[in-house]
């Protein structure tokens, strides 16, 4: 049997000298699937992502991409395969949008060789996909929060990854840009793992949802299986009503 495209198995992690914050987390993704990770503040979503894009080394367990443990590869090789869009943004505000997006090509460039035509094509394509052509020569520091977020997604696309990992990518985006970004992520054909606070977006755009609570997997599966009133109460300590009359579930929440 061939290995799953992406697999995390029995992951445990905690900060140095502290007990585990994440315990026994496993997930499997097929190529092209979109996984949403949802859960309350402090549930461990960002910490889990850091294990998946090889920032934190798990205390126990393994993360494998196409059957290879990501810790058996040099960081640069992993960066050619996995791109991450994080909540923290670059502080180098003087760089232009094009220069920031070009940073996505660094893992693919050897030594100090100048960017080649493949790099220029990837940068142009990423700028166009995120509707950033008009902003390409603007200093990053002069952009709005939502524009910056789109630049960070463009940088990740320029990296030409096999797996795209995003931490709350719809933060700062207005409703139209949220929907556009989710449709873009869906339409890329890439395997995507993203944390999302908005359960409606997760239900509409993700193939699978992993619900975290207290650093553990509460449940994982198709959105309709995961988003039940009982699971939502368990993860978020709120009561909810789920309207299943439309194409996608709609939620209302109460204390």
Ligand X SMILES: Nc1ncnc2c1ncn2[C@@H]1O[C@H](COP(=O)(O)OP(=O)(O)OP(=O)(O)O)[C@@H](O)[C@H]1O
Contact set for ligand X, span 39-78 (CB under 6 A) = 39, 41-47
Check residue 11 for interaction with ligand X (CB under 6 A): no
* Least distance between ligand X and beta carbon 86 (Å): 11
- Tokens at residue 232, please? 């939502």
The span from the CA of 18 to the CA of 16, in Å, is 6
In terms of Cα–Cα distance, which of 52, 55, 67 is closest to 194? 52
- Tell me the site size for ligand X, rule CB under 6 A: 10
DSSP 8-state class, residue 58: P
* Least distance between ligand X and beta carbon 87 (Å): 7
Q: By C-beta, is 52 or 100 nearer to ligand X?
A: 52
Q: By C-beta, is 44 or 107 nearer to ligand X?
A: 44
The span from the CA of 64 to the CA of 71, in Å, is 9
* Least distance between ligand X and beta carbon 48 (Å): 7
* Least distance between ligand X and beta carbon 98 (Å): 30
**Piece in contact with ligand X (CB under 6 A), picked from 5-13, 34-42, 70-78, 183-191:** 34-42
| Three-state secondary structure of 24-50 | EEEEEECCCCEEEEEECCCCCHHHHHH
- Tokens at residue 44, please? 């461990």
Largest CA distance in the chain: 58
Check residue 171 for interaction with ligand X (CB under 6 A): no
Chain residues in the site for ligand X (CB under 6 A)? 15, 21, 39, 41-47
């Amino acid at each position: 049997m061939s290995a799953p495209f992406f697999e995390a198995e029995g992951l445990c992690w905690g900060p140095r000298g502290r007990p585990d914050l994440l315990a026994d987390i496993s997930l499997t993704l097929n190529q092209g699937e979109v996984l949403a990770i949802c859960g309350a503040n402090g549930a461990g979503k960002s910490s889990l992502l850091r294990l998946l894009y090889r920032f934190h080394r798990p205390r126990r367990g393994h993360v494998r991409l196409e059957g290879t443990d990501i810790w058996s590869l040099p960081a640069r090789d992993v960066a050619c395969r996995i791109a991450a869009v994080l909540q923290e943004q670059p502080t180098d505000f003087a760089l232009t949008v094009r220069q920031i997006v070009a940073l996505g090509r660094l893992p693919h460039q050897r030594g100090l060789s100048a960017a080649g035509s493949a790099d220029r094509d990837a940068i142009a394509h990423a700028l166009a996909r995120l509707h950033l052509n008009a902003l390409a020569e603007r200093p990053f520091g002069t952009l709005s929060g939502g524009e910056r977020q789109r630049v960070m997604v463009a940088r990740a696309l320029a990296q030409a990854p096999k797996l795209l990992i995003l931490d709350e990518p719809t933060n700062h985006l207005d409703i139209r840009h949220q929907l556009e970004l989710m449709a873009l992520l869906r339409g890329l054909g890439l395997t995507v793992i993203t944390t999302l606070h908005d359960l409606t977006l997760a239900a509409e755009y993700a193939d699978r949802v992993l619900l975290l609570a207290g650093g553990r997997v509460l449940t994982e599966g198709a959105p309709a299986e995961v988003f039940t009133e009982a699971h939502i109460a368990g993860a978020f300590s709120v009561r909810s009503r789920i309207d299943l009359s439309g194409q996608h579930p709609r939620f209302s929440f109460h204390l």
